[in-house]
Amino acid sequence: MSFVSIPDNSHFSLRNIPFGIISTADRDPRPAVRIGDHVLDLKVFTASGGFSGLSSFKQTNVFEQSTLNKFAELGRPVHRAVREYIQEVLKANGKFSSILEENKELKSKALLSVDVVKTHLPLQIGDYTDFYAGRNHAYNCGCILRSPQNALQPNYYHIPVGYHGRASSVVISGTPIHRPYGQVLTNPKAEVKVPEFIPTRRLDYELEFAAFISKPNDLGHRIDVNSAEDYIFGYVLMNDWSARDVQAWEYVPLGPFTAKNFGTVVSPWVVLHDALVPFKAPTMERPPDVGDVLDYLKENDSKSGHDIDLEVEIRTKEGQVSVVSHSNTKFLLFSFPQMIAHHTVTGCNLQTGDLLGSGTISGESDAAFGSLLEITKGGSVDVKIGSSTRKFIEDGDVVTFRGVAKGDGEGLVGFGDVACPILPAIPYGKSNI
């Protein structure tokens, strides 16, 4: 039990201790951890001897940085030791109570209300790769775009399919996104296919889980699937925004481009890999007729996925709110270790801070789909938001994702909100610079 008051429904129990980057009116961005409705400023905590009880931790300068990259690259044993030590420091009447609980001066300086801080991207992202491991989503989209018989390509069950996204437009929760312009084929039945240049009419969210890479592998050297977890710093929730009508016109032959490069939103608190170990679960079962994966993707761990409940909420500009989907990370066909192994099988070198997205996570019913493309059957039916309806996201809507692992009642391990308001398109010929 922590001496910090933690609401029963908080995603940020003593069991969690996620890391992020905060700033305040008088201090620049620096690392912190979230505990209930408070944050522990790690720069201030460190400068006041907060880690004096962890003699093995010598690299305290990592908490003087404006990103978590330096801390991430220290590796899982250090992450584990620091997280467990902070848990002990935050325990009521614990063996380290003199460091913070009984130190009123430090507590007032380092333990801040979450209401007075601003969050920032937790790591500097060099590269961003988005996978397509949500089998139900892939099948549903294939049915909409092609047919049930040809919904999934022959390669789908054998490789974690992915594409390289745009790291520069990955932003933190709360950052508004403008509706993008793009080329749209407004009359697909026309004999001569000529697109129009218009704001997207089919703006859609994609419910995803994502991992940050902690350390690099050398160029030319593969990461073994059974060692890949050691390369994961932690996890966030992610909204991979998509302009579906732009995507339909441009994705053949080379896949997504401008339909997805205008904004990707992540949660601000990185839940460390060790915090989610108690919630590991099998990935989706493979159909018996597709054969097994190749040897380099075979895992010794039968529980390499996670059991995390997910939900999607839409709020209209009028303030009407509906939760439109409940899903779970168990609906992924491939694990992050498999994604990492496949990503590096050519010798591709990952870097600290690289972001890997899971692909859209959809359950097995309409109420568990991870995108409006699926919920509205390709835009043919409406979804209700309070007393209003829509087929895709409208200007003024705010889309919020939540994810939480509930486990055995010892405290929630969650990610908080990933919220994104949608602004109108900037008229062509103007700029927001």
Q: Could you give the residue numbers annotated as active site? A: 137
Q: Determine whether the annotation assigns residue 206 to a binding site.
A: yes
Q: What is the dihedral of CA 342, 347, 353, 356, to 10 degrees?
A: -20
Q: Determine whether the annotation assigns residue 360 to a binding site.
A: yes
DSSP state of 2: B
Distance CA 232, CA 387 (A): 43
Q: Determine whether the annotation assigns residue 128 to a binding site.
A: no
Position 195, amino acid: P
Q: Determine whether the annotation assigns residue 130 to a binding site.
A: yes
Q: Tokens 């070198």: give the residue.
A: 349
Burial of 429 (0-12, 13-18, 19+ CB in 10 A): exposed
Q: Determine whether the annotation assigns residue 296 to a binding site.
A: no
Q: Determine whether the annotation assigns residue 260 to a binding site.
A: yes
* Contacts of 186 by beta carbon, 8 Å cutoff, 6+ apart: 195, 196, 198
Q: What DSSP string runs through 278-310? A: GGEE--PPPPTTS-PPPGGG--S-S--EE--EE
Q: Determine whether the annotation assigns residue 317 to a binding site.
A: no
* Contacts of 234 by beta carbon, 8 Å cutoff, 6+ apart: 18, 19, 79, 211, 212, 270, 271, 272, 273, 275
DSSP state of 12: B
Q: How many CA atoms lie within 13 A of 316 on its CB side?
A: 15
Distance CA 426, CA 179 (A): 8
* Contacts of 168 by beta carbon, 8 Å cutoff, 6+ apart: none
* 282 cis-preceded (ω within 30 degrees of 0): no
Helix (H, G, I), strand (E, B) or coil at 180: coil
DSSP state of 249: H
Position 336, amino acid: F
Q: Determine whether the annotation assigns residue 84 to a binding site.
A: no
Q: Determine whether the annotation assigns residue 352 to a binding site.
A: no
Which residue ranges make up the annotated binding site for substrate? Answer: 132, 146, 247, 251, 360
Which residue ranges make up the annotated binding site for Ca(2+)? Answer: 130, 206, 208, 240
Which residue ranges make up the annotated binding site for Mg(2+)? Answer: 240, 260, 264
Which residue ranges make up the annotated binding site? Answer: 130, 132, 146, 206, 208, 240, 247, 251, 260, 264, 360
